[in-house]
């Protein structure tokens, strides 16, 4: 089928390449012409495991990119996927401006379209947003009516950064939101070869599913971090507790790694979004708020622990290993490691940092407040204290840390290997 993908960011790039690998013909549309040029040269504008190779491995005509969103670029598409990034607004809700702008552009391009186009909202939007904001924008900008002249569907993604292409090609399930018969038929056809359950619901239910999944994952992380903080005070190793908990299939071993907390562009934003919607509906989301509060406090707990161990950090030479919100990605959005690094700077420490993948994006946030090093060994060489803030494999080499004080926020050094080190873990 012919698929238009609007937005060549983390989600749009993975979906575009993934759809093309599944045999569809894809046109990727992005307002950034530099990104478009990169894609047409076979280079992905975002870092994602295996994405560049997959893009270069596509048949020549299966994927093209353009910065022009008009009836020519999307007019022949069987479905038009909105994949632009929603972001966290100042009020910590969801800023849908980019999605709304894309919807407006698509609507204008549909003014002269024939047939019955299917517009698919894949971007994560707050529950109810497609009904209340995206659909009216499409109708107003196209001069047409949803359900009469075109379909509007929701199709949330469940992609993990660093594993997104694999998650796209081998999903646990496909969620299709919308009761439009043609819309369901077209999406059913698009996904028919994925060989996984297709769950069909209405648009708002699909949006709730997406936010609730991420809020639940966030809940597991904050839960194990709260248990971890209690275990730390008891002198108990949270990881041993989590191992026994995870043996119960109702709990599962996943998302029970205690540490400095969750970050990224999704878990924080989607959990907050659910909070905002709840309040707008007159419901006080006590549990959802506490998930966020535990998470907001966690990075600070690491610094306080270091101060208890080291005394005041002013003037101390410290090194931070890992700046991304998790290992294996270059993304520093809502990264707890960035929060810790800023906190160390605010306390007057002399901070050196290293993160092979995330350095460039971290520079946009930390600027010249820290010293950047090209390797872990170099970054550590002058340090008194080393903070390990992502569980990147290269940080698991215990030889790195001889003679240093180690403050571990991500359990990179397990029991046994850290004997003899001056070591402290945030929740163990
Ligand atoms: C998440 C969801 O997993 C994915 O389904 C959704 O589509 C997008 O959001 P992502 O944000 O890429 O994916 O990362 P994920 O692997 O879920 O980790 C999120 C955060 O939780 C990271 O900061 C990670 O370090 C942290 N985390 C995760 C923990 O602290 N402990 C854990 O056990 C697992």
CATH code, 384: 3.40.50.720
Q: Is 206 domain-assigned?
A: no
Quote the tokens at residue 290: 């506490």
Q: Report the separation in Å between the CA atom of 383 and the middle of ligand 1, taken as the mean of its atom positions.
A: 30
Q: What's the average model confidence in pLDDT over 385-409?
A: 96
pLDDT digits (tens, 9 = 90+) for 197-219: 999 999 999 999 999 999 999 99
pLDDT at residue 91, as a whole number: 52
Q: How many domains does the chain have?
A: 2
Instruction: Give the helix ranges, DSSP H, for 71-202.
Output: 71-74, 97-110, 129, 135-142, 164-169, 181-190
Tell me the pairing of strands 317-321 and 385-388.
parallel
395 and 323 in a common domain: yes
236 and 197 in a common domain: no
Report the nearest atom of ligand 1 relative to the CA of 329. Answer: 12
User: Is the CB of 168 within 6 Å of ligand 1?
Assistant: no
Whole-angstrom Cα distance, residue 325 to residue 265?
9
- What does residue 140 show for φ and ψ, rounded to 5 degrees? -65, -40
pLDDT band of residue 89 (cuts 50, 70, 90) is: low
54 and 35 in a common domain: yes
| Helix or strand holding residue 300 (H, E) | helix 286-310
Q: Is 37 domain-assigned?
A: yes
Q: Among 266, 324, 339, 392, which is best to mutate for testing ligand 1, by the most ligand atoms less than 8 A from CB?
A: 266
pLDDT digits (tens, 9 = 90+) for 10-56: 999 999 999 999 999 999 999 999 999 999 999 999 989 999 999 99
User: Is the CB of 267 within 6 Å of ligand 1?
Assistant: yes
The CA-atom distances, in angstroms, between 333 and each of 99, 324, 329, 365 are 19, 8, 11, 9
Looking at 201, 232, 259, the residue that finishes a domain is 201
Statement: residue 398 has pLDDT above 60: yes
Q: Are 292 and 298 in contact (CB under 8 A)?
A: no
Q: Is 145 domain-assigned?
A: yes
248 and 375 in a common domain: yes
Q: Report the separation in Å between the CA atom of 322 and the middle of ligand 1, taken as the mean of its atom positions.
A: 16
Q: What's the average model confidence in pLDDT over 248-277?
A: 96
Whole-angstrom Cα distance, residue 127 to residue 131?
9
Q: Report the separation in Å between the CA atom of 192 and the middle of ligand 1, taken as the mean of its atom positions.
A: 28
Quote the tokens at residue 80: 């038009």
Q: Is 142 domain-assigned?
A: yes
Can you say whether the dihedral through the CA atoms of 116, 32, 323, 312 is positive or negative?
negative
Q: Among 264, 265, 269, which is best to mutate for testing ligand 1, by the most ligand atoms less than 8 A from CB?
A: 264
Instruction: Give the helix ranges, DSSP H, for 111-236.
Output: 129, 135-142, 164-169, 181-190, 203-234
Quote the tokens at residue 305: 């622990």
User: Is the CB of 262 within 6 Å of ligand 1?
Assistant: yes
- Which protein residue has the closest C-alpha to ligand 1 atom 3? 160
pLDDT digits (tens, 9 = 90+) for 49-87: 999 999 999 998 999 999 999 999 999 999 999 999 887
pLDDT at residue 95, as a whole number: 83
Statement: residue 9 has pLDDT above 60: yes
Q: Among 47, 157, 160, which is best to mutate for testing ligand 1, by the most ligand atoms less than 8 A from CB?
A: 160
pLDDT at residue 202, as a whole number: 98
pLDDT at residue 114, as a whole number: 87
* Mean pLDDT, all residues of the chain: 95
418 and 296 in a common domain: yes
DSSP labels for 384-421? SEEEE-S--GGGG-GGGGTTSEEEESS--S-TTTTTTS
Q: Are 124 and 266 in contact (CB under 8 A)?
A: yes
pLDDT at residue 381, as a whole number: 96
394 and 296 in a common domain: yes
95 and 242 in a common domain: no
pLDDT band of residue 90 (cuts 50, 70, 90) is: low
Looking at 138, 169, 201, the residue that finishes a domain is 201
305 and 159 in a common domain: no
Q: Is 266 a catalytic residue?
A: yes
Spot the catalytic one: 83, 211, 266, 275: 266
* Selected residue with higher pLDDT from 112 and 335: 335
Which one, of 116, 9, 136, 2, lies nearest residue 62 by Cα? 2
User: Is the CB of 264 within 6 Å of ligand 1?
Assistant: yes
pLDDT at residue 252, as a whole number: 98
Q: Which position has the token pair 């239910």?
A: 205
Q: Report the separation in Å between the CA atom of 281 and the middle of ligand 1, taken as the mean of its atom positions.
A: 28
Any idea what DSSP says for residue 146?
B
User: Is the CB of 313 within 6 Å of ligand 1?
Assistant: no
Whole-angstrom Cα distance, residue 399 to residue 392?
15
Q: Is 290 domain-assigned?
A: yes
pLDDT band of residue 359 (cuts 50, 70, 90) is: very high
**How many Cβ atoms sit within 10 Å of the Cβ of residue 115?**
13
Q: Is 207 domain-assigned?
A: no
Q: Is 117 domain-assigned?
A: yes
218 and 173 in a common domain: no
Q: Report the separation in Å between the CA atom of 41 and the middle of ligand 1, taken as the mean of its atom positions.
A: 31
Looking at 178, 201, 224, the residue that finishes a domain is 201
96 and 21 in a common domain: yes
Q: Report the separation in Å between the CA atom of 295 and the middle of ligand 1, taken as the mean of its atom positions.
A: 13
- What is the share, in percent, of the chain residues with pLDDT greater than 70? 99
Report the nearest atom of ligand 1 relative to the CA of 257. Answer: 33
180 and 287 in a common domain: no
- Strand order across the beta sheet in which 2-6 lies: 63-66, 25-29, 2-6, 79-82, 118-121, 151-154, 174-177, 198-201
- What is the share, in percent, of the chain residues with pLDDT greater than 90? 93
399 and 300 in a common domain: yes
* Least confident interval from 16-20, 312-316, 390-394, 417-421: 417-421
Residue-number span of the structural domain to which 273 is assigned: 212-425
Which one, of 43, 48, 55, lies nearest residue 10 by Cα? 48
pLDDT at residue 12, as a whole number: 98
Q: What's the average model confidence in pLDDT over 320-330?
A: 96
């Amino acid at each position: 089928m012919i698929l238009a993908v609007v937005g060549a960011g983390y989600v749009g790039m993975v979906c575009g390449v993934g759809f093309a690998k599944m045999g569809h013909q894809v046109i990727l549309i992005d307002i950034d012409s530099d990104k478009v040029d990169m894609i047409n040269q076979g280079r992905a504008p975002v870092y994602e495991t295996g994405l560049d190779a997959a893009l270069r491995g596509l048949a020549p005509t299966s994927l093209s990119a353009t910065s022009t969103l008009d009836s020519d670029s999307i007019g022949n598409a069987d479905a038009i996927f909105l994949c632009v990034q929603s972001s966290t607004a100042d009020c910590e809700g969801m800023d849908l401006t980019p999605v709304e702008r894309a919807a407006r552009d698509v609507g204008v391009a549909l003014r002269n379209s024939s047939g019955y186009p299917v517009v698919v909202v894949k971007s994560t939007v707050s529950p109810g947003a497609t009904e209340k904001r995206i659909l009216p924008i499409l109708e107003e900008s196209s001069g047409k009516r949803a359900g009469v002249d075109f379909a509007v569907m929701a199709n949330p993604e469940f992609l993990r950064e660093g594993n997104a292409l694999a998650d796209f090609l081998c999903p646990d399930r496909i969620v299709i939101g919308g009761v439009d018969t043609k819309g369901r038929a077209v999406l059913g056809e698009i996904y028919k070869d994925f060989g996984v359950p297709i769950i069909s619901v209405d648009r708002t239910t699909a949006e709730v599913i997406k936010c609730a999944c991420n809020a639940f994952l966030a809940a597991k992380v904050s839960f194990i971090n709260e248990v971890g903080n209690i275990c730390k005070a008891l002198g108990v190793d949270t990881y041993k507790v989590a191992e026994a908990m995870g043996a119960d299939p109702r709990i599962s071993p996943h998302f029970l790694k205690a540490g400095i907390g969750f970050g990224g562009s999704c878990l924080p934003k989607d959990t907050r979004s659910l909070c905002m919607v709840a309040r707008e509906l007159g419901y006080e989301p006590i549990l959802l708020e506490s998930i966020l509060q535990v998470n907001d406090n966690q990075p600070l707990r690491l610094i306080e622990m270091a101060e208890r161990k080291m005394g005041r950090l002013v003037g101390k030479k410290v090194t931070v290993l890992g700046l991304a919100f998790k290992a294996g990605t270059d993304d520093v959005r809502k990264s707890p490691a960035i929060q810790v690094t800023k906190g160390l700077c605010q306390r007057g420490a002399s901070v050196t940092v290293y993160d092979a993948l995330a350095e460039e994006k971290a520079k946009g946030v930390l600027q010249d407040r820290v010293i950047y090093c090209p390797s872990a060994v170099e970054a550590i060489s002058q340090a008194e204290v080393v903070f390990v803030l992502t569980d990147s494999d290269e940080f698991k080499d215990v030889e790195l840390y001889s003679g240093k004080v180690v403050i571990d926020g991500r359990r990179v050094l397990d029991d046994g290997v850290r004997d003899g080190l001056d070591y402290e873990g945030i929740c163990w």
